[in-house]
């Protein structure tokens, strides 16, 4: 749809944004998706846990999603939204290149960024030998020598979780994690090795992860490394509307608060996917997009119904008013009998006699 004004503007063209756009386009809504082209899972070889799409590359999944949105009349453009503001009855979105688009509703599905510990070689292996989610990558590293890098309050939990996929798990405390007595008992009971000391580097041979080296010089052979990242919502656009991020209750990062249907504290502004749910996998984000898209459509229907009741959907002429008055009041315009109804009643009475 070649217009700068839409029913819904969606910022973020990942699984959540494209699923919402498909839902809204199929509901005959004019939809614009603005995508910066920087998906969180771009380094990964494939998407996992996504029914019928398991192992598909992230780029292929998004390409299919874009085509589906367009096939239903939606519009997808490349660009980076930098801010948004509310006008009288619209949300205006500003792009970095100066373009502006408006929508009656705004959905933000910008995802999050993964903050990695500052360790040499770690980022180069991110999405390859270094993973974070067992449900996304556990099968691919099953049975291997897996290290878990201590990086925050969930590291012990992560080590115990990956123990399901391999009997050979080593937790590197990295001068960051200090297990409680109860956690030490759990780690021992599950035969998880624990190594003290700060990690200096993640080592690779011919681009393949090979192990870790501590600052004091010890090296450990590893075939995979799990890291709990600090997840930060990409929230710049939402912050320009007065929304701020909230600290995750489990210390995993920061997110934008939204209810189960995606509604935020700002009326007309919605969020879905990792920007509001840091633990959402790709398929979870897609499901949230569908749900939020349906909620936005319902919100628009409620508004349009209210407009219809108020007579705002079209001109209400004197003739239209007369027609409605006749339907509602019969021959009593303004509540006064014009004599016709009385005559009709007398005629009816005569017929009955």
pLDDT, tens digit, 9 for 90 and up, residues 245-287: 999 988 889 999 999 999 999 999 999 999 999 999 999 999 9
The 3-class SS string of the chain reads CCCCEEEEEEECCCHHHHHHHHHHHHCCCCEEEEECCCCCCCCCCCCCCCCCCCCCCHHHHHHHHHHHHHHCCCEEEECCEEEEEECCCCEEEEECCCCEEEEEEEEECCCEEEECCCCECCHHHECCCEECCHHHHCHHHCCCCEEEECCCCCHHHHHHHHCCCCCCEEEECCCCCCCCHHHHHHHHHCCCEEECCCEEEEEEECCEEEEEEECCCCEEECCEEEECCEEEECCHHHHCCCCCCEECCCCCEEECCCCCCCECCCCCEEECHHHCCCCCCHHHHHHHHHHHHHHHHHHHHHHHHHHHHHCCCCCCCHHHHHHHHHHHHCCCHHHCCCCHHHHHHHHHHHHHC
Q: What is the pLDDT of residues 220-252, one digit of tens each?
A: 999 999 999 999 999 999 999 999 999 998 888
What pTM does this model have? 0.85
Does the pLDDT value for residue 336 go beyond 90?
no
pLDDT band for 45, please (50, 70, 90 cuts).
Answer: confident
Q: Do 145 and 241 reside in the same domain of the chain?
A: no
What's the confidence (pLDDT) of residue 58?
A: 93
Q: Do 102 and 238 reside in the same domain of the chain?
A: yes
What's the confidence (pLDDT) of residue 41?
A: 83
Report CA Rg, the chain.
29
Residue 247: C-alpha distances to residues 61, 108, 263, 271, 300 (Å): 31, 19, 18, 16, 31
CATH of the domain at 275: 3.50.50.60
In a domain, 40, yes or no: yes
Backbone angles phi, psi at 214, to 5 degrees: -85, 160
Q: Do 247 and 287 reside in the same domain of the chain?
A: yes
Q: Do 105 and 234 reside in the same domain of the chain?
A: yes
Q: Do 161 and 92 reside in the same domain of the chain?
A: no
In a domain, 106, yes or no: yes
- CA–chain centroid gap for 29, Å, is 20
Q: Do 221 and 122 reside in the same domain of the chain?
A: yes
User: Of 227, 248, 283, at which residue does a domain stop?
Assistant: 227
Number of domains in the chain: 3
132: domain range?
Answer: 117-227
Beta 100-108 vs 269-271: how paired, if at all? parallel
Q: Do 288 and 255 reside in the same domain of the chain?
A: yes
User: Of 203, 227, 251, at which residue does a domain stop?
Assistant: 227
Q: Do 110 and 124 reside in the same domain of the chain?
A: no
Backbone angles phi, psi at 212, to 5 degrees: -130, 150
What's the confidence (pLDDT) of residue 351?
A: 37
Cβ pair 118, 195 in contact under 8 A:
no
In a domain, 314, yes or no: no
In a domain, 313, yes or no: no
Does the pLDDT value for residue 8 go beyond 90?
yes
Q: Do 145 and 283 reside in the same domain of the chain?
A: no
Cα angle at 157 between 134 and 47, to 5 degrees?
A: 15
Does the pLDDT value for residue 326 go beyond 80?
no
User: Of 227, 242, 271, at which residue does a domain stop?
Assistant: 227
Q: Do 100 and 134 reside in the same domain of the chain?
A: no
Residue 83: C-alpha distances to residues 93, 102, 213 (Å): 6, 12, 43
Closest CA to 232 of 202, 254, 203, 211: 254
Q: What is the pLDDT of residues 165-222, one digit of tens each?
A: 999 999 999 999 999 999 999 999 999 999 999 999 999 999 999 999 999 999 999 9
In a domain, 85, yes or no: yes
Q: Do 43 and 171 reside in the same domain of the chain?
A: no
């Amino acid at each position: 749809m070649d217009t700068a004004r839409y029913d819904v503007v969606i910022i973020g063209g990942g699984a959540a944004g494209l699923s919402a756009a498909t839902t809204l386009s199929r509901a005959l809504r004019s939809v614009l998706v603005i995508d910066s082209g920087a998906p969180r899972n771009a380094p990964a070889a494939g998407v996992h846990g996504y029914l019928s799409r398991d192992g598909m590359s992230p780029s292929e999944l998004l390409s299919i999603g874009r085509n589906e949105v367009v096939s239903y009349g939606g519009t997808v453009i490349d660009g980076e939204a930098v801010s948004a503001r509310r006008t009288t009855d619209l949300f205006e979105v500003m792009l970095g290149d100066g373009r502006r688009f408006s929508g009656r509703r705004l959905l933000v599905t910008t995802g999050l960024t993964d903050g990695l510990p500052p360790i040499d070689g770690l980022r180069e292996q991110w999405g390859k030998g270094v993973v974070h989610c067992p449900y996304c990558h556990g099968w691919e590293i099953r049975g291997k020598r897996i290290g878990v890098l201590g990086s925050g309050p969930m590291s012990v939990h992560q080590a115990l979780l990956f123990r399901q996929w391999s009997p050979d798990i080593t937790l590197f405390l990295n001068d960051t994690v200090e297990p409680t007595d109860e956690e030490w008992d759990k780690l021992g009971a599950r035969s998880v090795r624990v190594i003290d000391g700060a990690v200096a580097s993640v080592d690779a041979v011919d681009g393949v992860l090979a192990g870790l080296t501590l600052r004091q010089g010890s090296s450990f052979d590893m075939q995979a490394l799990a890291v709990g990242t600090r997840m930060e919502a990409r929230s710049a656009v939402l912050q320009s509307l007065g929304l701020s991020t909230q600290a995750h209750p489990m210390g995993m990062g920061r997110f934008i608060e939204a209810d189960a249907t995606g509604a935020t504290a700002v009326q007309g502004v919605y969020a879905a996917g990792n920007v509001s749910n840091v633990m959402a996998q790709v398929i979870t984000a897609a499901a949230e997009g569908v749900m939020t898209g349906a909620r936005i459509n319902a919100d628009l229907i409620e508004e349009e119904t209210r407009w219809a009741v108020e007579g705002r959907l079209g001109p209400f002429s004197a003739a239209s008013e007369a027609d409605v008055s006749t339907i509602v009041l019969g021959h009593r315009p303004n509540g006064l009998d014009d004599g016709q109804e009385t005559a009709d009643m007398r005629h009816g009475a005569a017929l009955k006699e």
